[in-house]
Structure 1
């Protein structure tokens, strides 16, 4: 039992009882799931809280908030499977971590059923009425990021609920409606505002300007206090509709009409989202993108995510560099390893900025995304790395297919947000799902579904993941430009790891963090699979990132000599707060072991 959660002694009805009675195990079996409302112990007032790591024998859930983790835990304990649990976790996150994800956003889900890996795409799409000029001002110049993000312009058609519905219809075991019980109960009865939610609200400015959001999250003009018992009756009512009627309740009817009205009536920059966009949204099954690295096969999400491709490039380039005697020194990544990692990241991000976008609009180099992590190609890229850095902004994209490209390089721009969930159930089914509304609090628009009740859910600002400029200075189009119905490029990196020879599941992991998701996840993979650290030890390690420009080390986590040595190599490095939210589960000889990022409030629960 997690020390974060104290519960009553009410028991749940397990699916095992159905097995003992010889009842059929049909999908969506009518098995009772009675949610047991937990009490959350006071959160430690720290921005970095050491986590113990959690060993379990049969199943485990890792999520970004203790209440969300507990909801998934209870679903598994009642006999639900990994897909059932992830639905319950996501609905609770909509309530308790509204700044990061929710029913107003999108998600990528990797699923393993013991035999087959599947990828479910719930990424948001651009409305049919937009074009490449969406984020340009009257003079044709790109808007400032926050001017675009905190507006109706940035809201894409949400996909999380429709995607989860698709995955549940295919793999779920408990009835869909039962999985909404935890979030509805918490929304109606209230939950204590966590320190992280309070801090996020206190630092946020634009949500205060939203009529509904300002009134709900800033009563008396101040951010909700830590420990405040927050009820969200509007969200409870909306979730009841989705529980009963499925995703159609969000994409059609009064809730959809309210969503469109919030976007189109925005007080500064109204958007063009229409009812037909919501009704016509389709979640997609994608072919998982799997590649070998050392003794493992890593499976992640294909475009429109850039995460798996860029991670495989970073890891593959590292594999072609000279082996270091000490990649870890005094418990930290060593300066020589950091140099190699940052240089590999520069080269991978150069390719990312040129090639990767929605595959329904952009063709892969050589018609195959795997060309980007072909061993011979990565070996040629590794030859560009020497003792000195390539330098800030100097990495050029390669040409993996030896063909001319029609695209221009996308300029660097901010990326934010997200939350990650990893689950492994008793049957060995595994989930890695990264979910987002993009920046903190998304478009800073709260929608109440026309319920007339307090609260609601936040809308995404996902369209700001497109390039603000549709072309470069010469007029060459950028692959990730805005187009109607297109899905913006993402960095989300939900990852499932398998032993290459046996095919046995090894781990599930991922992280929030905008474009830095890629670095966070890649480093965790190296630490777990190459350096032999357990999941918690890997997540505890300090971060280092570059998007191709300057390099950043996690503030206060490395010796001054490390920063000095990297700068002597030409990295233009400095310190910065780098707040990941990694969750990881790994399969062990005795069961499972889970880790949660010490930089956030997530925990692991299981039995």
Structure 2
């Protein structure tokens, strides 16, 4: 459905999905950015998955009474749905989803990467998080990403090869989450992944397109070339792709747990691949793998419209920055302004700029540097920062604030940004537990180095390439041995009266923050259902320019321009996956810009 159809009917005041749909009947299903929603090309799908694809194409949420799951690829969602249907927990389903995602969507996440997980526990009513971010090898130095003259390397020069690979965290996360919250048999959670790897899966349109567009970077290392370019040509849409090496890795994990990944033959394969990337070798060692640990951390929660917005704290900037944006907007009536009002987007855009200013100065791995986490989301501080939005035009400039904290350290300003990539899943199980997990290998196809049938991350390039800013102040997100790079991943659970009412998250690099904040505002302020919220157009501001999707109404772009924003039309490929809890039951929504679906039961 075109941008002048459903996506814009939703924003122009239609109170219901039916009203918006009525205005756009018989129009080809397209998403808010103009790309056709993919409804085939995924191989053998269950009736529930086929129904979910149809719902997404028609712009309506999937509904259910007991459980709901949404993730980035239909085959992965099917695997998780089978677990939930059998009575498994959200943590069980997550394991099944992740091992399939790593096979069918290898460019975005997998065993060679890391993840952040936010968990609401139905029994205790508590919310907590698991940090499975990759860590820097013990042998790194501050000049890891600098040349012989001390100048930062070009980004892709640093990415491709072993230099950028950090110690993966995802396999250990699967095990830790299952031990804490799992109900199903561990080994059985790998069945779908093993079967698809051995028998083969259908190459999706998105995977085929991305492989074809990679060119030389993805063909620099023999294992990667052999897999993605069989016979010397890129894997084709609709082809069956087998990965026996990945099946072998999954069998080892199923039988021996995560230790099979961090020690023994798989660990040896990983370090050999990293250190053996002759044009750009890395430093990851067997000791780095053996010492890796997942860290449980308190969630970062901010109140917004009588809801608690709970997300991931440092080393992610996601929970803090989303929380700051919403906290600054709390004093403004976005509902009255409406979703097409330039004034609403002025407020959202400048709140984001202020939050990103704080992000660049203060946010990093709190195990290595002091981070004023409480001060950054203190209601009084956010109210003070929010007052800066009270004018009529865009802020001419923004700078970091002065949150209260107990440390005297001053950090330099850092504008390092992650590029679009990553994957997300949202799950609510039959027991009432909620899981929001964003998972990544960083850049698309990560380091392009492959071992054990999976790609290895390039997560170390999320560190700043410099150690000090122009004024000479040290940068909080500088690389150091064992340190975790700053992230923008923002898995989020929105709660009201201690119960989850929204589970949301997205891929998209540093724009994740804007995508997630938009979806929350769209649901809580503008009354959109979850499918409307994730499909609604993206407008993202980080450091001044307002990046927008094609097809925005002229009055909106013109209004933003007159307010002083530089409006830049660009591709904003979010991949929001969301669930909301309503009085009538559960709703699931999947971003039409990517291949994911929601299935409920």
The TM-score with structure 2 as length reference comes to: 0.89
Change in Cα spacing, 1:38 to 1:535, as seen in structure 2 (3 Å) is: closer
In 1, Cα distance between the equivalents of 2:312 and 2:112? Answer: 21
In 2, Cα distance between the equivalents of 1:49 and 1:465? Answer: 35
Q: How does 1:550-589 map to 2 (within 5 A)?
A: 550-554=545-549, 556-589=550-583
411-420 or 59-68, which deviates more: 411-420
In 2, Cα distance between the equivalents of 1:496 and 1:43? Answer: 23
Aligned to 2:163: 153
Tell me if structure 1 keeps the 8 A contact 2:42–2:202: no
Aligned to 2:495: 498
- Alignment of 1:544 onto 2:539: yes
Q: Following TM superposition, by how much is the alpha carbon of 1:442 offset from its aligned partner in structure 2, in angstroms?
A: 0.4
Aligned to 1:52: 60
SS, match of residue 266 in structure 2: helix
49-58 or 272-281, which deviates more: 49-58
Tell me if structure 2 keeps the 8 A contact 1:136–1:143: yes
In 1, Cα distance between the equivalents of 2:50 and 2:519? Answer: 29
Change in Cα spacing, 1:218 to 1:323, as seen in structure 2 (3 Å) is: closer
- Alignment of 1:139 onto 2:142: no
SS, match of residue 204 in structure 1: helix
Of residues 353, 356, 361, the one that matches 2:368 is 361
Q: How does 1:328-407 map to 2 (within 5 A)?
A: 328=339, 333-365=340-372, 369-385=373-389, 386-391=391-396, 394-401=397-404, 405-407=409-411
Aligned to 1:70: 78
Change in Cα spacing, 1:314 to 1:411, as seen in structure 2 (3 Å) is: same
SS, match of residue 384 in structure 1: helix
Of residues 270, 281, 305, the one that matches 1:270 is 281
- Which is helix-richer, 1 or 2? 2
The TM-score with structure 1 as length reference comes to: 0.88
In 1, Cα distance between the equivalents of 2:348 and 2:43? Answer: 44
- Alignment of 1:254 onto 2:304: no
Tell me if structure 2 keeps the 8 A contact 1:324–1:336: no
Aligned to 1:104: 112
Of residues 320, 332, 344, the one that matches 2:331 is 320
Aligned to 1:281: 292
Aligned to 1:471: 468
SS, match of residue 383 in structure 1: helix
In 2, Cα distance between the equivalents of 1:241 and 1:260? Answer: 18
Change in Cα spacing, 1:321 to 1:51, as seen in structure 2 (3 Å) is: closer
Of residues 474, 480, 483, the one that matches 2:480 is 483
Name stretches of at least 5 consecutive residues in structure 2 with no aligned partner.
Answer: 1-38
Name stretches of at least 5 consecutive residues in structure 1 with no aligned partner.
Answer: 9-35, 449-455
Q: Following TM superposition, by how much is the alpha carbon of 1:174 offset from its aligned partner in structure 2, in angstroms?
A: 0.9
The number of aligned residues is: 557
Q: Over aligned residues, Cα RMSD in angstroms? A: 2.3
After superposition, what is the alpha-carbon deviation per residue over 1:518-561, rounded to whole angstroms, capped at 9, x for unaligned?
Answer: 0000010011112211100101110111221422001x230234
Of residues 513, 518, 523, the one that matches 1:523 is 518
Q: Following TM superposition, by how much is the alpha carbon of 1:468 offset from its aligned partner in structure 2, in angstroms?
A: 0.7
Aligned to 2:211: 201
Q: Following TM superposition, by how much is the alpha carbon of 1:51 offset from its aligned partner in structure 2, in angstroms?
A: 4.0
Aligned to 2:437: 433
Change in Cα spacing, 1:201 to 1:89, as seen in structure 2 (3 Å) is: same
Q: Following TM superposition, by how much is the alpha carbon of 1:149 offset from its aligned partner in structure 2, in angstroms?
A: 0.9
- Alignment of 1:166 onto 2:163: no
In 2, Cα distance between the equivalents of 1:151 and 1:6? Answer: 30
In 1, Cα distance between the equivalents of 2:47 and 2:152? Answer: 47
240-249 or 290-299, which deviates more: 290-299
Change in Cα spacing, 1:121 to 1:6, as seen in structure 2 (3 Å) is: closer
In 2, Cα distance between the equivalents of 1:318 and 1:433? Answer: 25
In 2, Cα distance between the equivalents of 1:238 and 1:447? Answer: 10
Tell me if structure 2 keeps the 8 A contact 1:563–1:574: no
Q: Following TM superposition, by how much is the alpha carbon of 1:378 offset from its aligned partner in structure 2, in angstroms?
A: 1.6
In 1, Cα distance between the equivalents of 2:398 and 2:143? Answer: 28
SS, match of residue 128 in structure 1: coil
Q: Following TM superposition, by how much is the alpha carbon of 1:302 offset from its aligned partner in structure 2, in angstroms?
A: 0.9
Change in Cα spacing, 1:249 to 1:51, as seen in structure 2 (3 Å) is: farther
Change in Cα spacing, 1:412 to 1:5, as seen in structure 2 (3 Å) is: closer
- Alignment of 1:61 onto 2:78: no
After superposition, what is the alpha-carbon deviation per residue over 1:411-462, rounded to whole angstroms, capped at 9, x for unaligned?
Answer: 34443311111111111111101100001000011113xxxxxxx1000001
Tell me if structure 2 keeps the 8 A contact 1:304–1:356: yes
Aligned to 1:411: 415
